[in-house]
Amino acid sequence: MITLGGFAVVVPEGSDDSDIEVIPPNGLHYYAIDEYHYGRIKRLANLFKDFDAMHSDLLVVSSAIGASEAPLETKTAAQEACELIEKGLIDLTSDAKEYTELGNIFDKYREMLDEFNHGGATQEMSAELRAAVSALEQQFDGKQALVIGATSHRLLDIEARISRAADFIEEHRAVVETHHETNKPVEQEEIPPFQDPLAPQSPDQGTHETEEIDGDVVNGDENTAQPAEASEYVQIDDEEPEDSTEEHTSDLQERTPPADESMERIRAYLRDRSILPKLSKLHKYAQSIDEVMHGLTVDEADSIMVPKKTLSGVPQCTGASGTLCDIVFGQSAKIDMAYVIYKRYGEIIDTLEKTDPNSPQVKQLMDEQQQLEREFERFEPLVTMEILDIAERDELATIHLLEVLKVMVDGESSPESVADEISTSPAEKSSGAEDAPTTEGDAAGNGDIAKKMRGTKDTAASSGIVAMGIRAIQATVALYMIATL
């Protein structure tokens, strides 16, 4: 029995498995077979299944609203609502394409490994596996950030936007169906005229061309050429392990990217172990926020709309666009990705220190390390010492924000009392010594925030960890007028 990509594969009796390459687990393998990540990606892919059709229907509704005879005021309000929903979908266009493709990559990878796992492995099948894995890895290259970015709040954000669009289209279902019925016959009538003129010409031309091609390759039909192409691809792939195994050691130095100033700065941040405890503090805050937003009294599917209803009665929030979740989504996803990248980078450094330099795993880890460096470059502005220090300095304001969120989400007070709560400064709230939090003995520095906020639920049972960046915290704190940062 051998292992291919982390899967146990039975070797037929009498076969020599010395030439069968053992493919070590890689980034694609880790994410594709992990049920948590696979489930997230498939959930997103299913959300985007009818994305193009939904966007098209929304355009139909928008056009119908503009052409309607409704009062101008009514038309304007409906058009503005439609444009807002449409903008939400347009912002997801790239995500729709990427996550749909990512879901297909994961499915193909799992099906392929399952087939080889149950079908046995010969040398020829191993070569085919290497070729197939190589092709999927090339497709997956650069998509790791998408997997990491599929956080709980990101998922809810996408679900909310698509749900709002679906509800809006359903309200105007009659208009959409009328449009489809009107245009469907037109599309069917346009197809035959383009096909009929070609019908008498294509058989003669196609026969001669096919005969010439078949004569050059093999006396047969077009399908006979396909195995030759597949064979050539496998042969090329078979040659790669020989070259790569000889160069495992010699290439390690060469794989270090150019020492430009920007990348050196990125590496300096990633190697600075003092940043991790501060990022951990933001994650602790995020756990508390996540627990409030997904608490016992708030169903996950409705958590986005609860703050919106409460915000409408708070004077300080008049004119605020979107829900509370909408305000913090963008930064939270970025910080979450930055945290995961930083943590993984540190794990790789520790592993490399304990690994034989000549081990094939070193090359794999260095490849992943360089990929993390490139991905982290986007998040550098969010993870600087200055911002992290501000997070420590404004801890009281952050804790006060969490308390306000609890009041709003749980609905324990009326909108008027929430407004009074918001207008109370953090300093006034912390005037009692017994209520002041302490960071002593707590690396994360937030004490028992989650326990204090919701004693009936353990922090580990939170529905998801979504890190909230200090800039998002600052923006939200400013919105509620509880601190001046």
Reported as a pLDDT band with limits 50, 70 and 90, residue 101 is very high
| Any domain includes 206 | no
| Any domain includes 380 | yes
Higher pLDDT, 201 or 111: 111
- 257-290 in b/e form (b: 16+ CB < 10 A) is eeeeeebeebbebbeeeebeebbbbbbbbbbbbb
Higher pLDDT, 78 or 416: 78
Out of 270-279, 293-302, 373-382, 456-465, the most confident range is 270-279
- The closest alpha carbon to 345, from 270, 278, 258, 265, belongs to 270
Token pair, residue 395, equals: 């801890």
* pLDDT, position 80: 85
Number of domains in the chain: 2
Indicate whether 171 and 271 sit together in one domain.
Answer: no
Measured at the CA of 251, the angle between CA 245 and CA 257, to 5 degrees, comes to: 140
Range of the domain at 343: 261-479
Q: What span, in angstroms and rounded, lies between the C-alpha atoms of 383 and 381?
A: 6
Indicate whether 33 and 161 sit together in one domain.
Answer: yes
CA 368 vs CA 36, 376, 407: distances in Å: 21, 12, 43
| Any domain includes 379 | yes
Out of 103-117, 209-223, 399-413, the most confident range is 103-117
Of the residues 207, 238, 269, which one is the last residue of a structural domain?
A: 238
Of 145-149, 208-212, 250-254, 281-285, the one with minimum mean pLDDT is: 250-254
Indicate whether 322 and 440 sit together in one domain.
Answer: yes
Indicate whether 370 and 465 sit together in one domain.
Answer: yes
| Any domain includes 195 | no
* Residue 239 reports pLDDT greater than 60: no
Reported as a pLDDT band with limits 50, 70 and 90, residue 180 is low
* pLDDT, position 104: 92
Packing angle of the helix pair 35-47, 152-171 (nearest 10 deg):
20
DSSP summary character for residue 432: S
| Any domain includes 424 | yes
Of 58-67, 113-122, 363-372, the one with minimum mean pLDDT is: 113-122
pTM value surpassing 0.85: no
Indicate whether 178 and 269 sit together in one domain.
Answer: no
Q: Give the rounded distance of the alpha carbon of 311 from its chain centre.
A: 28
* pLDDT, position 106: 92
| Any domain includes 108 | yes
Indicate whether 171 and 297 sit together in one domain.
Answer: no
| Any domain includes 48 | yes
Indicate whether 74 and 131 sit together in one domain.
Answer: yes
| Any domain includes 243 | no
Higher pLDDT, 400 or 224: 400
> Using only C-alpha atoms, what is the Rg of the chain?
29
Indicate whether 173 and 272 sit together in one domain.
Answer: no
Mean pLDDT computed over every residue of the chain: 61
Find the distance separating the first CA and the last CA of the chain, reported in whole Å. Answer: 61
Indicate whether 280 and 413 sit together in one domain.
Answer: yes
E strand residue ranges, 265-354: none
Phi, psi at 272, each rounded to 5°: -80, 100
C-alpha torsion sign, points 400, 403, 407, 409: positive
Indicate whether 291 and 234 sit together in one domain.
Answer: no
Reported as a pLDDT band with limits 50, 70 and 90, residue 384 is low
Out of 21-30, 106-115, 236-245, 328-337, the most confident range is 106-115
* pLDDT, position 389: 54
Indicate whether 177 and 100 sit together in one domain.
Answer: yes
Indicate whether 266 and 306 sit together in one domain.
Answer: yes
Q: What span, in angstroms and rounded, lies between the C-alpha atoms of 309 and 301?
A: 15
Reported as a pLDDT band with limits 50, 70 and 90, residue 40 is confident
